[in-house]
Structure 1
Amino acid sequence: MFLNRQALYLRPDPARVVVRPFKPAIEPRDLNPTDKTRANHIVDRVIGLDPEAAAAQLTDVLENFNGRHRNLLETFEERASEMEDALAPHSVFSKVQRQLVGAYFLHEYSFEAAALFNPSIVRNPDQSGAPEGGCRFILSLRAVGEGHISSLTFRSGSISARGDVTIDPTARLASIPKVQSRSPRLDGEEVEVEFMLDGQLSERVIFPITLSQSNGIEDARFVEFDTGEGKVFYATYTAYSGRSIRSELIETTDFRTFRLTPLGGLAARNKGMALFPRKIDGHYAMIGRQDNENLYLLYSDDLYAWETGQVILKPRFPWEFVQLGNCGSPIELDEGWLVLTHGVGPIRKYSIGAALLDKKDPAKVLARTSEPLLRPEPAEREGYVPNVVYSCGALRHGDQIILPYAVSDTFSNFATIKIAALLETLSG
């Protein structure tokens, strides 16, 4: 059997929380500019505490939450600095009062309480400690919490010489990055963020930052991109505002600092774009879906602008009659570009297949699978969205493909695929 499922179940953990700004809802009377807002009322009450009561309250908050987050007092200070409008009417207040105000305008958010799914995998830029003949990797995952808000989180692990996968222990704490800069771009914002130096990779959570992402950063498809002068990790993802979607791009070299940039052009109005790992004939190239049915090949001279492309794959087999999409960036083999696909069939059952594109001209489809490589097993059918297996990107290691995949939009697992046997299943 050329495909082997591994029992490495990555399940959502509601105990993992980040601390996020709390914004009191605006009541009708708050719309009157002559009235104080709820934020002002809360600040008034905090400032009204006598010094001993304020200190006792802050001590109580720290005792309750200190073991759950890093640098809480610093976080309180930063949040208080964002509340200057509400603090301005008060000419005198102590540092304790200021920190306490910050605490009142924060809340915990269990970012993966509902789901941990749609993974992608790349080689870790730091290969120290890699097993002999194996490699270290970074796994990105879509985490979903209350209100179905999606964020981006990470895990690390190793692949042995023979393809066995192990996952490093997940950090108990979690944190969001500091925003280093914001700048207008197209009809949105480009944002640069940075995580603290001493935090583990699995602590890092990129929560929605801009308006276009406000309801979710979804389905990041990471790829190690060869610039010709070095390696950069890019990921296309879907930004969801709650009303509209668009494709955006993450860029990093170390998985500690990230730049998030909206993409322009007609193709960027859709989801599911995946970047080739290098330029082709001097052009950037993407696989994407522009019409909710077919897979397209797109070229651009500008990494941040993508227009229309050409259809290269259409639904042909019953398991993909509803629609076709990609399962991450193309993987370069000696035989051509391997594109893992997802197909949707009866009862909206999602399965994973593959296609092989010509190395020099990816518009030429050399072969494809007539039957799925991976479909929901009886034990993998139940979850938030039943009957779904899905991936946002696989990794070649030696003679195998390491395929992380999601189960029913709920949790994630791994499969390994022998490349030679996979190629034998492809037909013209």
Structure 2
Amino acid sequence: MQIKRTGIVLSPNSKRVVLRPFVPFPEERKLRIIARVSTLPEGEVDRLIAQVLEEFHGRHQRPRDFLLARFERVREYLITDAPLSENRRLLIGAYFTQEYAVESAALFNPSIVWHPDQSDLPEGSRRFVLSLRATGEGHLSSITFRSGVIDARCTISVDKPTRFATPPDAVPDSWYQKALFIRKLNELGLAGVFTNHVMARLEEEFSLEQLNTALQLTMRENRTRHHEFAVIFEGITTLAKSNYEIAYLPETKLSERLIFPFSPSETAGIEDARFVRFQEDDGDVRYYATYSAYNGRVVLPQLLETVDFHRFRMHTLNGPAIANKGFALFPRRIDGRYVMLSRQDGENLFLMDSDNLYFWHAERVVVKPTFPWEYVQVGNCGSPIETEAGWLVLSHGVGPMRKYCIGAFMLDLDDPTRVVARLRAPLVTPDENEREGYVPNVVYSCGAVVHNGVLILPYAMSDYASTFATVGVDELIAAMEPA
């Protein structure tokens, strides 16, 4: 069996920049910066902001809106309520703004799913969405997208991205279900008197603003126990902000949409999204992605949900089986239950099932490191793919010199705890063109698709750039040994 490398390479592009807040510390510096700008005569303000807007023209969408929003975030440091001209507000906002090159360091760990829009294509062709982990300064990771088409002969073409990268707007009125929120609080060990009082103030559905009001009122009523309840207060707030919703303007192109770290659990990055096109028993289709939220100390598994790649909802995953990283959801229920692969101990591959998409309690080992190229650890390379022969799972294995390879195995369609076949040798090993990069000797994928009997496998090369390979599904299955 021989995989075919396509020669397509998606490399990081340092020209794709996004506007981000610039927050100087300590707090006194903000006061001093604003004070200095406040001393400028209006003519000098007009000249400086014109220079800024000219210098950064064409690099961002709606830059004036961003600068004005940044001014509003630092307005509290003004020493007077006297009205300011728009140009002075823009200039103050510019002093608290910076550019960030979202993919200057790496563009890797791709995941591919079929696009929700399959209109206006030649017969036998399908449009896809490719998600990638984009990493920039400080190794801060986010999710970026590309689109493309695979034709009837399985030739892959990737649409050229625009030069813009645009973060979404947070949906201001995200609502929470009280019963589900309480269950999550219990899982986190945040139940108790303070939590009960907060929840008693809320309806069966509530907004973040209503939750904040309930928290503040309950804290005021318990001033004498402020120190005791402060940790619980923070925990409830973090949970709420980790379950949020974002949206892009309708005219934003797919390649411009950037899912940037937003919640407290994501401050150090969003990593390795594994997308899956999920179909419910009633035919309803939506897209999910499991990803790792990292705050610099702890990795927390999260779940992303969308139907159109314009609006996304982020959820926490809960339960004793939610640990480590590398979760991959099956594309449909099995016997009425959700099923997911995971890597609980960082070494073996586990299978989990649940009647609730957000709570997972039981897991069992299905695959252990068996062959020398995977003796260090084995994990998945994305969601299982349903075939007539069984669930095709792409795996990754780590061997000598911490070299990552991609393998494959097959699970029984009706009983996915049972391995029915497995590749003895890797499907993809890093060749001489793929072994140099941010992390050498690594090939890695977060999800593949099958088109016209061919496995379309996007994968990362040494945590730097991404490419594609193809192989016939029948040929791949024939190369597996029965388990």
Specify which of 321, 324, 334 is matched with residue 267 of structure 1. Answer: 321
Number of aligned residue pairs: give it. 419
> CA separation in 2, counterparts of 1:88 and 1:265?
49
Q: Percent identity?
A: 50
For residue 34 of structure 1, what is the aligned residue in structure 2? none
Query: 269-278 or 93-102, which moves further after superposition?
Result: 93-102
For residue 259 of structure 2, what is the aligned residue in structure 1? 206
Matches within 5 A, 1:251-262: 251-262=305-316
1:392 partner amino acid: C
Q: 1:180 to 1:88 in 2, by over 3 A?
A: farther
2:62 partner amino acid: N
Question: Is the contact made by 1:131 and 1:158 (CA closer than 8 Å) also made in structure 2?
Answer: no
For residue 335 of structure 1, what is the aligned residue in structure 2? 389
> CA separation in 2, counterparts of 1:406 and 1:359?
29
Alignment pair present for 1:64 and 2:118: no
- How far residue 183 of structure 1 moved from its aligned partner, in angstroms, is 6.5
Alignment pair present for 1:101 and 2:92: yes
> CA separation in 1, counterparts of 2:292 and 2:278?
19
Alignment pair present for 1:23 and 2:51: no
The residue matched to 2:413 in structure 1 has which SS?
coil
For residue 176 of structure 1, what is the aligned residue in structure 2? 167
For residue 154 of structure 1, what is the aligned residue in structure 2? 145
The residue matched to 2:312 in structure 1 has which SS?
strand
Specify which of 80, 97, 102 is matched with residue 111 of structure 1. Answer: 102
Structure 2: tracts of 5 or more residues without a match: 185-234
2:162 partner amino acid: A
Alignment pair present for 1:276 and 2:267: no
TM-score (norm 1): 0.95
Alignment pair present for 1:302 and 2:356: yes
Query: 138-147 or 257-266, which moves further after superposition?
Result: 257-266
- How far residue 145 of structure 1 moved from its aligned partner, in angstroms, is 0.4
1:94 partner amino acid: S
Structure 1: tracts of 5 or more residues without a match: 31-36
1:198 partner amino acid: E
The residue matched to 2:322 in structure 1 has which SS?
helix
> CA separation in 2, counterparts of 1:201 and 1:236?
20
The residue matched to 1:266 in structure 2 has which SS?
coil
- How far residue 2 of structure 1 moved from its aligned partner, in angstroms, is 4.3
1:152 partner amino acid: I
> CA separation in 2, counterparts of 1:241 and 1:425?
42
Question: Is the contact made by 1:47 and 1:93 (CA closer than 8 Å) also made in structure 2?
Answer: no
The residue matched to 2:165 in structure 1 has which SS?
coil
For residue 212 of structure 2, what is the aligned residue in structure 1? none
1:303 partner amino acid: L
For residue 33 of structure 1, what is the aligned residue in structure 2? none
Question: Is the contact made by 1:2 and 1:418 (CA closer than 8 Å) also made in structure 2?
Answer: no
Specify which of 231, 241, 247 is matched with residue 194 of structure 1. Answer: 247
1:80 partner amino acid: F
> CA separation in 2, counterparts of 1:309 and 1:325?
15
Flag the structure with higher helix content: 2
Structure 1 residue runs of 4+, over 6 Å off? none
Alignment pair present for 1:7 and 2:7: yes
Specify which of 285, 290, 297 is matched with residue 344 of structure 2. Answer: 290
1:43 partner amino acid: I
- How far residue 96 of structure 1 moved from its aligned partner, in angstroms, is 1.6
For residue 220 of structure 2, what is the aligned residue in structure 1? none
- How far residue 90 of structure 1 moved from its aligned partner, in angstroms, is 3.8
Matches within 5 A, 1:307-386: 307-386=361-440
> CA separation in 2, counterparts of 1:20 and 1:93?
23
